[in-house]
Amino acid sequence: MMIPLLLGITLMTFFIMQLAPGKPTDLVTDLNTRMSSEAREKLVKLYELDRPWHERYWKWLKRMSRLDFGTSFRDGRPVIKKIAESLPATLLLNILSLILIFTAALAIGIFSAVKKDSLFDKISTFFVYLGFSVPTFWVALLLMIGLGLKLGLLPISGLRSIHYSDLSAWRKFLDMSAHLVLPVFVMALTGLAGLARYSRSAMLEVIRQDYVRTARAKGLPERTVILKHAFRNALIPIVTLLGLMLPELIGGSFIFETIFAYPGMGRLGYDAIMARDYPMLMGIGTIVALLTLAGNLLADLLYAFCDPRIRYQ
């Protein structure tokens, strides 16, 4: 099932890429008064841009089948190497913020469902919505000014300090962690609101069920009732959201990577789009598609974990 899906995604990506006006050579040749039209044509020939798009797609596909992603038009380096350099940083950022989103959202959701209409419920709802509504780049800048500039607690941007290579292993770890705090927090802020609301309503739904009343009637302590009987059932719709959120996070990380000068794949992809760097774009498209499919698979596996009635043949 996954192979045809992947093929379809790459075909669509390739086709849409061709629809966008402009060529990879434009960055060098556009309005460059020192570049003759012969030199431009030579460049177009070198990158085989004069061939029809389906022919080029077929060529790309044949290379892909040998796991050869080609080389970037921009600097002539292998696409797979460039992705390998930037993917870990992006994954690190995404996984950390995903963990933060889930723990915070579930905690807020459960607590405000159990203590419905309490002061905590109202305050958390207010702040969760606030976090959701304000533009993240603005929050990011405010936090940079407050925590970075005024208080000097955290570094403003980047992933490593300038003197990183001179540090001991433990210091390196601390240095990177300090750099990660702001991007992870800001990134989690957007995802938090929706998920917290979802888990609250899912929890409310479940608490009203008969089996929860039965559990309480059996005389089980409230803690066990909520965390064991109610919570596991409330998790099912949330797991579906996890599968949907993964590609969204990876797509959205380009904004955060740009603001925080973070050396990740989102920026690599953005630059590739702007430069019409076809091989790079196709490489990133394929990797993101793979990650999305992996996310869906993960969600499916988690279903089975949450709901013993679901079994895969």
Question: What residue ranges bind other proteins (CB under 8 A)?
Answer: 20-22, 26, 30-31, 33-34, 37, 40, 46, 71, 75-77, 82, 85-86, 141, 144-145, 148-149, 155-160, 162-163, 166, 258-261, 263-264, 267-268, 271, 274, 276
Shortest CB 274 distance to other proteins, Å: 8
Residue nearer to other proteins on the CB measure, 56 or 160:
160
C-alpha–C-alpha distance, residues 232 and 239, integer Å: 11
Q: Is 71 helix (H, G, I), strand (E, B) or coil?
A: strand
Residue nearer to other proteins on the CB measure, 34 or 66:
34
Residue nearer to other proteins on the CB measure, 100 or 154:
154
Residue nearer to other proteins on the CB measure, 166 or 210:
166
Shortest CB 303 distance to other proteins, Å: 37
Shortest CB 50 distance to other proteins, Å: 15
Shortest CB 31 distance to other proteins, Å: 7
Using alpha carbons only, give the angle 120, 124, 128 rounded to the nearest 5 degrees.
175
Question: Of 171, 175, 145, 161, nearest to 259 (Cα)?
Answer: 145
Question: How many CB atoms neighbour CB 12 within 10 A?
Answer: 12
Shortest CB 7 distance to other proteins, Å: 28
Residue nearer to other proteins on the CB measure, 198 or 260:
260
Shortest CB 156 distance to other proteins, Å: 5
List, in order, residues 6 or more apart from 25 with CB less than 8 Å away: 40, 43, 44, 47, 49, 73
Residue nearer to other proteins on the CB measure, 201 or 258:
258
**Amino acid code (one letter) for 89:** A
| Bridge partners, 9 (sequence order) | none
Q: Is 78 helix (H, G, I), strand (E, B) or coil?
A: strand
Check: CB of residue 304 under 8 Å from CB of residue 310. yes
Place of tokens 């038009």: 73
